[in-house]
Amino acid sequence: MHRRLRVAFFSTGDELRSIGEALAPGCVYDSNRYTMWGMLQRLGVDAIDLGVVRDDPAALREAFAQAAACADAVITSGGVSVGEADHTKRIMAELGEVLFWRIAMRPGRPMAIGRIGPLAGAEGRIGAAPRQALLFGLPGNPVAVMVTFYAFVRDALLAMSGATPQPLPMLRAASTQAIRKKAGRTEYQRGIVTRSASSASGWQVEITGAQGSGILRSMSVANGLVVLGHEQGNVAAGELVDVLPFDGLV
């Protein structure tokens, strides 16, 4: 018998503001925490919102230690690229270990997964055994957060909860247009899936326009992800592609 999994999450960035706060010049609203809350609620875990953490090493250390002391898993968004203010991966390595960083996928390449423990004085134990929390350092762009959550985080959290993760259902749909794709990475493009009498599979999919990982509209108007495999190249109009429907996910 398993207790409910505890998952702490926070966003990083000096420019982020929570909904309801005034926006200063150069600031943006933090959509990622609200998205993560919604995705975690569907998994039935105890979600612990730690808010927005500044792009400051000391603040990140404190946030990581607090999260590791109270949760089994920690999810962050932002700070895993290579800019001067991207401290997340480095602090992960200081307080625990980075198992891997950067993935051949788009969006979501600058993602880190590791383990992290509480600082001295905050042992964070389950029963009598000291433990480390599993940590997912997700990119900062909102589309990349959602894609990496369903590509990696969802199944890991289900397994930690004691469930047996089942593969997410895929459709085969005819692309209504040519899609440019570079071989050597997996791509998740946002699409609108509809019924089609002319398609051999009975489904067709249309890409939702510009696919930048910071374009939240590309996700909000979509009803599925077009999954283009690692070795796959350009897609011709009418070619069948794999589609992961959003129904039941977001």
pLDDT band per the 50, 70, 90 thresholds, residue 168: confident
- Can you tell me which residue has the tokens 């990140």? 60
The mean pLDDT of 159-170, rounded to a whole number, is 89
The two three-digit tokens of residue 127, written as one number: 């029963």
pLDDT at residue 67, as a whole number? 93
Condensed to tens digits (0 to 9), the pLDDT of residues 215-246 reads 988 999 999 999 999 999 999 999 999 999 99
Are 145 and 139 in contact by the 8 Å Cβ rule? The answer is yes
- Can you tell me which residue has the tokens 């985080």? 153
Are 74 and 11 in contact by the 8 Å Cβ rule? The answer is no
CA 67-143-40 angle, to 5 degrees, is: 40
Q: Helix or strand or coil: residue 242? A: strand
d(CA 6, CA 49): 11
Supply the mean pLDDT for the chain.
89
Q: How many residues does the chain have?
A: 250
Condensed to tens digits (0 to 9), the pLDDT of residues 102-134 reads 899 999 998 999 998 765 444 444 333 456 899
Beta strands 73-77 and 6-12, pairing class: parallel
pLDDT band per the 50, 70, 90 thresholds, residue 1: low
**Upstream peptide bond of 107 is cis (omega within 30 degrees of 0):** yes
CA 227 to chain centre: 15
The two three-digit tokens of residue 198, written as one number: 């002319």
The mean pLDDT of 176-201, rounded to a whole number, is 95
d(CA 159, CA 235): 34
